[in-house]
Each structure stands twice: as C-alpha cells, then as structure tokens.
Amino acid sequence: MFPRTSSGQASILPQTPWHYSGTMLTLEYRTDPEAVAELLPDNIQPADEDPGAVAVLWADWQSCSDSFEELLDPVRSQYMEAFVVVRCKYRGQHYSRCVYIWVDRDYAMVRGHHQGYPKKLADIYMTRPVTTGHAGPRLEARGRFGATIAAYGRRLIQAKFEITEPCEGAGFVNSLPMLHSRLMPAIEGDGTDSLNELVTMSAYQSEIGRSFTGNFEIELFDSPTEELTRLQPKELIAGYWRELSFSWKSGTTLSRTNLQEIS
C-alpha cells in the first residue's frame, strides 16, 4: 500500500498474510427487512431466510504480519473494531456482508479499505474479563459486559451483555463468507468509479477458544454522520462472547465494472 518506497518500510500496511487474535462480542437481532435491503447494491439480493437479521459486533484485536515485529511494538498491533453485518445473496449463493464498520487505528482502516470493508474511525470500548480481582467480569454465568461506539463526539451504539452459559457456536449472521464492495470514485468527480469490484473472502487456520451465550440490551442513536437508527431492533435473538483467531491472505474478485480506456 501507500506510500510506496524502494524498501517498503513506510507503507501503512505490511505484506499479507495478516494474523489476528482477540475477543469478540456478537449481538444478533431482527430489524425491518426493507431496511436491510436498502443497504444492498442492485445486483445483490436479501437472504432467502431471515432477511432482517442483523449482527452488531465488537472486537478487541491484536494483529501482526508474518514478521511478528508488530507484537514487540504493540501500538502497531492492538486496536478495537465494531461493525454491523447482514446476510445477502449473490448469484444464488448466500454471504455475510458488512454494511457499517469502525476502527480506532489508521492502519486498520486502510487494511479494511483494501479488503472492501467500509471502515471509518471511532472510539470503541468493550469490557474485558478478568481472572483475578473485582475490576471486571468472570467468564461464567452472570458475568456482565458493556460495549460502546462513538464518533464525532456522539455515541452511536451502546449495549450490555450478560453470560448465561457456555456455548458451541456464536450466531449465524456473520458465519458465511464475506461479500464486499471495493470502491473508489473517479478523480473527475462525474459520478463514475475508477474502482468498482465485488469481492469475496474468508479466513484460514481459524481457531475458536472459549465461547459463551447470554442476554443483551442494545440502543442505537441518531447522528448527522450515520444511518444506524434505520436498523432499529424489532426482536432480539441472542448474544455471544468468544475468543478467536484467524489469518487472512487474499480474496477473490467476483465482478469488476469495466472502465473506459483513457487516451
């Protein structure tokens, strides 16, 4: 990525593969299916089953490249992320699709733009569990967590989660291969795109640690820079907390808008 130099040292991103380890809070609910459909491009259809299902997720990540150098300079490896996922269908196959996402580090934002995630910057917080003392929940029944997202001085989402029991899975909305749009408007400002691709991707060598399910509350707030309240919950499904890790190297381009050659 940029800036490109002979050594590559100044690039905002290291070469792939990228490795991720962390914890994730997933809160699933149902909203108006039409509110989900309006976020999908014309060539992508709503999911056949449960088209109004939504997952709001918080993740506390530590990531690195194959050099593992970032782990010894943790300002380059640790970041928070929060995102909203729906399900959809393209060419007869079902996918998960991220419609909104925020991070708190520039390299994580640009990394997402490369992959097709529509990342923006925000302040993101999630309660961390503890194994000693009283300044945090234990990973057991009645362990309680809070999570928030705020951007441009306004709180966007706040949630509370309480563990009821261990579980095997962690929901269904974010469980499919991802379907993303990689976009870049043309410099002419005429409404055309220099880059318009539909891509899919999935992780490899994934590993799931401890997982718990539970009850949750969630609130979405108005903001002049967001449209979240169009996805207000109508029915809560379930919440999940889990430990996980995965690696990512590349994706696959499914479609590409042909651009006119400039002479």
Instruction: Give dist(CA 230, CA 232) in Å, integer.
Output: 6
Instruction: Give dist(CA 78, CA 255) in Å, integer.
Output: 33
Reply yes or no on whether the pLDDT at 82 is more than 70.
yes
Torsion of CA 111, 117, 118, 121, to 10 degrees: -40
Reply yes or no on whether the pLDDT at 181 is more than 80.
yes
pLDDT digits (tens, 9 = 90+) for 26-44: 999 999 999 999 999 999 9
Reply yes or no on whether the pLDDT at 259 is more than 90.
no
Indicate the average pLDDT of the chain.
Answer: 96
Instruction: Give dist(CA 95, CA 73) in Å, integer.
Output: 35
Closest CA to 148 of 200, 191, 104, 114: 104
Task: Give residue 260's pLDDT band: very low, low, confident or very high (50, 70, 90).
Answer: low
pLDDT, position 263 = 44
Tokens matching residue 249: 């190297």
258 or 207, which is more confident: 207
User: What's the rounded mean pLDDT across residues 54-73?
Assistant: 98
Of the chain, the percentage scoring pLDDT greater than 90 comes to: 97
DSSP 31: -
pLDDT, position 20 = 98
pTM for this structure?
Answer: 0.96
* Residue 34, H or E segment: helix 33-37
Closest CA to 174 of 64, 70, 81, 72: 81
Reply yes or no on whether the pLDDT at 191 is more than 70.
yes
Instruction: Give dist(CA 17, CA 166) in Å, integer.
Output: 32
User: What's the rounded mean pLDDT across residues 228-252?
Assistant: 98
pLDDT digits (tens, 9 = 90+) for 84-138: 999 999 999 999 999 999 999 999 999 999 999 999 999 999 999 999 999 999 9
User: What's the rounded mean pLDDT across residues 49-70?
Assistant: 98
- Map out the domains of the chain with their CATH numbers: 18-175+206-250 (2.40.400.10)
Reply yes or no on whether the pLDDT at 262 is more than 60.
no
